[in-house]
Amino acid sequence: MSTPTRAGRRHVTLVDAAREFGRHPTPWMIGATLVVAVGARLLAGDWTWADAVIPVVMLAVFPFFEWVVHVCILHWRPRRIGALRIDPLLARKHREHHVDPRDVDLIFIPWQALLWVLPLAVAVALLAFPRAGLGLTFLTTLTVLGLCYEWCHYLVHSDYKPKTAVYRSIWRNHRQHHFKNEHFWFTVTSAGTADRVLGTYPDPAAVVTSPTAKNLHGQPS
């Protein structure tokens, strides 16, 4: 059981964090898709060298995928086209997440979004690859990366304290995005990868604290 500290936060172990993680629907939805994908991949057989290449390529691309999604979708500024207001669920929930980064329910990908994201991923796996086995390798890798993203993002926002240098750098990177300046440090599962390449990894000492880090675009959530 976690215990309170003098700072008002809790002493949280990885076991405590895992218990809380498992109380939310999104990890179970992604996990169920992963189990089905692994089972189908094993049944499909037909292994080739490409099944080893796809996970490596996806792992290399994933930080850039995170960056693009974070910048273009999660930080989408609401727009009006005539009488129509364009403000997707993911953007709305992410603005709420910035308002209160410690609200556990807002840390996870909204389960409503997964109701279409997961079927879309399955459709891509089955229709966009020349072999079913290769598509299932893609789907398996994608759901593993999705679970890693959810776990890492949850852990950074929990009271769990970094124990390793690698995790400490990831923890610091994402917390600077929330508490220093929302215009930088967009990756979540890594630090200094896509951000460094795409120019959003400045020296924190040279960055002013943003007045809208908790109120994206200066608009109501």
- Cα torsion 98, 144, 155, 60: sign: negative
Cα–Cα dist 209/180, whole Å? 5
| Nearest by Cα to 161 from 25, 16, 1 | 16
Cα–Cα dist 180/114, whole Å? 30
**22-58 tens-digit pLDDT:** 999 999 999 999 999 999 999 999 899 999 999 999 9
Q: Which DSSP string corresponds to 9-24?
A: -EE--HHHHHHHHTTS
pLDDT of residue 83: 85
HSE-CB of 206 using CA atoms within 13 angstroms? 5
pLDDT band at 207 (very low <50, low <70, confident <90, very high): very high
**70-126 tens-digit pLDDT:** 999 999 999 988 888 999 999 999 999 999 999 999 999 999 999 999 999 999 999
